[in-house]
Structure formats: C-alpha cells, structure tokens
Amino acid sequence: LGNKLQDILDRVGKERQLTEAQVKAAMREIRMALLEADVNFGVAKDFVARVGEQAVGQQVEGSLTAGQTVVKVVHDELIQTLGGKTAQPELRAEGNVWFMVGLQGAGKTTSTGKLASLYKSKGRRVLLVAADTQRPAARDQLEVLARQVGVPILKVADGESPAETRRRVDEHLKTDFRDLVIVDTAGRLQIDEALMDQLADLQAAMQPTESLLVVDAMTGQEALNVAQTFDRRVKVTGLVITKMDGDARGGAALSARSVTGKPIYFAGTSEKISGLEPFYPDRVAGRILGMGDVLGLIERAQQADLKAMEVKKPGDFDLEDLLTQLRQIRKMGPLGDLLKLIPGMSRALPEGFNVDEAQIQRVDAMISSMTVKERRNPKIIDGRRRKRIAEGSGHTVQDINRLLKMHEQMKDMMKMLGRMQGGKPGAKMPR
C-alpha cells in the first residue's frame, strides 16, 4: 500500500477540509487494502461506504496532510469496528463454564490449553473437559496440555451422551472444587449440520457461561461464513483469533467480529502454551491497513514539536536547516526508523544514505565549524574553506565533500517532497 498511499498524498493536497473527491480516491485504496488483508468482500464494502461518508468534510489537522487525515479516520473507525478496547471474558467467582467451538484445525485444543495456563496463573482452579470424540488422538492431545499446565482433565467417553458428560463433570466438582471448566469440542473441516446439532446438544447440557468461537486468522474470506453459521447454531459470546503470528493480516478478525458483533477476547500468537495475548484492536487495525509505519509517523507528527522542521521554501534548504533538522530528528528517536516512516522517503533518499547516531554527531560537528555565512550559502565553501572546516571539526576534506554532496541531494529531496505538498513557499516538511 505504501506506494499507493504515496499517490493519494500526491493527489490530495493542501485543502483544509476533506473533499468528496479526495475521500473517494483514498477509499478506493483503503478498500483494496482491506481486500488484500482478506477482509470479507461485503464487510470491506460496507466499511468503506460508512467511513467514506464520515470522512467527507473532516477538518485536516494542522500537522497532517489530507491523505494522512483520511488514513487516521479509517484507522480510528477500524479500531472501533474491531471492538475499541481489549475485552475480557466474563468471569464469576465460581461456576464458570467455557465452551470452545470452531472448525477442525482452528486451534481449539491449543487455545484450551493456553486458557488453562493463563487462568491458572491468575489463581483460577481450572478443569479441562476433552469432548472431542471425533478424532481418536484429540483427547490425548488435550491430556498432554493438561499435564503440562498442571490441571485435571475429564475425558468424554466414546458415545457418551451430553447429559452423562454433564453428570460426570458435576460429580468431579463435588470432590475437587473448580471455578473454571473449559470444554474442548470436536470440529470439522467444513461447516457440517451433524456437527452443529451435536455441539448444540452438548452446549445445552453444559450451560456454558461463555461460548468461544475459535477462528484461524488464515481462514480469510471464509471467516465470515464460519462465524455466521456457528453464531446462528451455537450462540457465540466471544471470539478467539488464532495464528496471528502467521502471514495473515487480520482480515478474518474484522470479518468475524463484524458479522457476529461479538468481542474478540484473545489472539493466538504462537504454538506454545504461552502464545495467547489479549486482542489489541489498534495493533490489528494497523496490520489490516498494512500501514503501521505510516500510522506511527502520524502519531509522532502529532506528538513532536516540529516547528523546527518548517523550511522557508523547499529550494532554500540550507546547511543551517539541515543541522536544525538533524538535531530535531535525533530527539525523535532512531533516525533510520523515522526516515522509513516518511511516505516516499525510501524512494527519495539518496543512494547510500544511511545515517546513524554517530554520523549525525559528525555532521553536527562539521556544520558547527562553519560560519553562518557558509551555512546559509554552501556554494561559497571552496577548497580553502573545506580544509579549514575539516581541521576545525576533526574531519578530512573528503568528509566535508561528502557532507556537501549529501546536503545537495537532500535539498533535491526537499524540493520533491515540497512538490508533493503543493509546492507553495512556506510549505512544511511532510510528516
């Protein structure tokens, strides 16, 4: 999306209120980004329509460009759609029963083990129930996890009725008090009516306080259908999105959340028992847009005092400006990171331009050894002056040559970035 966003920034310029045309142009790209992140087609379409309407007429904040403002509106709305803040499952003092459902391979059994581990560490007394009688090894898989975590497990027998399972769980609780029972169930590779019936029966017998749908982040387009069907047949109260450590960009999370309206409680982030985190809507929103870098830049632009980054005119960028900027940039964090954040910067940077902290200090020293006249008009820095500056700052003439060349290149870059912003005198550095 980086380059596309660049194009938007090129197109939407200096107006202070987002126009319909600007928003429309940006929304096309946003829709593409959503589809690329595997957000369901219909969900993406609705989202873009809703946010587009909202964005038109929005005020462009002082330090932002119009394109960045659109991105911000989209990002904020995406966070809201994903649930706003992180949410936790309901947890009573006792009598909690969590019912895990989802397709085969979604990560139910793994997540059941992870939840047992997490809530045991929070002081809960957990009992696991292995109710996946579909595959012979499924109950053993959970047993291994139960042993690893150090919690008891009750295995459902082949052909056991839901009522019998319920009775056996109650029996267990009489002699071994547990305040959180987590039931791992069977899945199928695809939605299957027989499975849904079976799950509904077991759910009715277990009377869970939470029914958690486990969705594989890699499910992509299919996530919507899966979530919808499970929610219809086995009323879902919350979601767990697994395999967020993979390549998937999170579209499944948005689809599942949109269609069920249920909170996403957790994200699975590895195969390990510790790989379960609260679901952070803001992080996933950035990931879905694939523009975490741009968003970071927007945030920093809003936070930092960037007065010093204003240049008189792109073409007037002199060594004094360079010095001021380098010092400013140093305050803002690792330079490499920051430069990468600026849209188009990776394209615009002179070849071999790679400044680290030590190098900034060297440049600082060299420019500090120049007279104000030299800084303002680098053209007058001839051989004699170069020698003097080199000696004064403890560098070689070659170092000074390199600095002056870099400055020339940066000046060109400023001009280019200036054009991107409308190219008017007084234009600010893009943020």
Annotated ligand binding at 185? The verdict is yes
Instruction: Say how many CA atoms lie within 13 Å of 272 toward its Cβ.
Output: 5
Minimum separation from the CB atom of position 38 to ligand GDP (A): 16
If binding is defined by CB under 6 A, does position 251 make contact with ligand GDP?
Answer: no
Q: Which residue is at the shortest CB distance from ligand GDP?
A: 268
Distance CA 431, CA 414 (A): 12
Residue from the set 54, 86, 104, 221 that interacts with ligand GDP by CB under 6 A: 104
- Scanning 3-11, 100-108, 172-180, 285-293 for contacts with Mg ion by CB under 5 A, the matching segment is 100-108
Could you say which residues in the range 135-154 bind Mg ion, by CB under 5 A? 138
Nearer to Mg ion, 101 or 295 (CB): 101
Please say whether the beta carbons of 126 and 151 come within 8 A.
yes
Number of residues located near Mg ion, criterion CB under 5 A? 3
**Measuring CA to CA, how many Å separate 267 from each of 134, 149, 291, 416?**
26, 19, 20, 42
Annotated ligand binding at 186? The verdict is yes
User: What does the DSSP assignment read for 314-376?
Assistant: GGG--HHHHHHHHHHHHHHS-HHHHHHHSTTHHHHSPTT----HHHHHHHHHHHHTS-HHHHH
Please say whether the beta carbons of 96 and 180 come within 8 A.
yes
Distance CA 247, CA 46 (A): 25
Please say whether the beta carbons of 364 and 323 come within 8 A.
yes
**Measuring CA to CA, how many Å separate 256 from each of 4, 196, 217, 222, 264?**
27, 18, 10, 9, 9
List all residues 6 or more positions away from 184 whose beta carbon is below 8 Å from its beta carbon.
100, 108, 109, 112, 128, 129, 130, 131, 132, 138, 142
If binding is defined by CB under 6 A, does position 250 make contact with ligand GDP?
Answer: no
Contact flags string 266-285 toward Mg ion, x per CB under 5 A: --------------------
Annotated ligand binding at 242? The verdict is yes
Contact flags string 50-89 toward ligand GDP, x per CB under 6 A: ----------------------------------------
Distance CA 114, CA 112 (A): 5
Could you say which residues in the range 223-242 bind ligand GDP, by CB under 6 A? 242
State CA 293 to chain mean position distance: 10
**Measuring CA to CA, how many Å separate 371 from each of 266, 360, 378, 386?**
59, 19, 10, 12
106 binds, among ligand GDP, Mg ion, none (CB under 5 to 8 A by kind): ligand GDP
Nearer to Mg ion, 147 or 387 (CB): 147
Report which of 334, 291, 325 is spatially closest to residue 417, judged by C-alpha positions. 325
Is residue 43 within a helix (H) or strand (E), and if so which, with residue range? helix 41-55
- Checking DSSP bridges between strand 276-278 and strand 264-268, what pairing results, if any? antiparallel
Please state the length of the chain.
431
Minimum separation from the CB atom of position 98 to ligand GDP (A): 14
353 is written with which tokens?
């331009």
If binding is defined by CB under 6 A, does position 183 make contact with ligand GDP?
Answer: no
Number of residues located near ligand GDP, criterion CB under 6 A? 19
Minimum separation from the CB atom of position 8 to ligand GDP (A): 34
Annotated ligand binding at 359? The verdict is no
Annotated ligand binding at 301? The verdict is no
Annotated ligand binding at 187? The verdict is yes
If binding is defined by CB under 6 A, does position 110 make contact with ligand GDP?
Answer: yes
Please say whether the beta carbons of 96 and 210 come within 8 A.
yes
Minimum separation from the CB atom of position 329 to Mg ion (A): 51
Annotated ligand binding at 245? The verdict is yes
Distance CA 64, CA 429 (A): 10
- Scanning 153-161, 168-176, 268-276, 342-350 for contacts with ligand GDP by CB under 6 A, the matching segment is 268-276
If binding is defined by CB under 6 A, does position 430 make contact with ligand GDP?
Answer: no
Nearer to ligand GDP, 134 or 369 (CB): 134
Minimum separation from the CB atom of position 132 to ligand GDP (A): 7
If binding is defined by CB under 5 A, does position 109 make contact with Mg ion?
Answer: yes
Could you say which residues in the range 309-328 bind ligand GDP, by CB under 6 A? none
Minimum separation from the CB atom of position 208 to ligand GDP (A): 17
Distance CA 45, CA 49 (A): 6
If binding is defined by CB under 5 A, does position 110 make contact with Mg ion?
Answer: no
Annotated ligand binding at 42? The verdict is no
Question: Residues annotated in the binding site for GTP, as ranges?
Answer: 102-109, 184-188, 242-245
Residues that bind Mg ion (CB under 5 A): 108-109, 138
Residues that bind ligand GDP (CB under 6 A): 102, 104-110, 187, 214, 242-243, 245-246, 268-271, 275
Question: Residues annotated in the binding site, as ranges?
Answer: 102-109, 184-188, 242-245
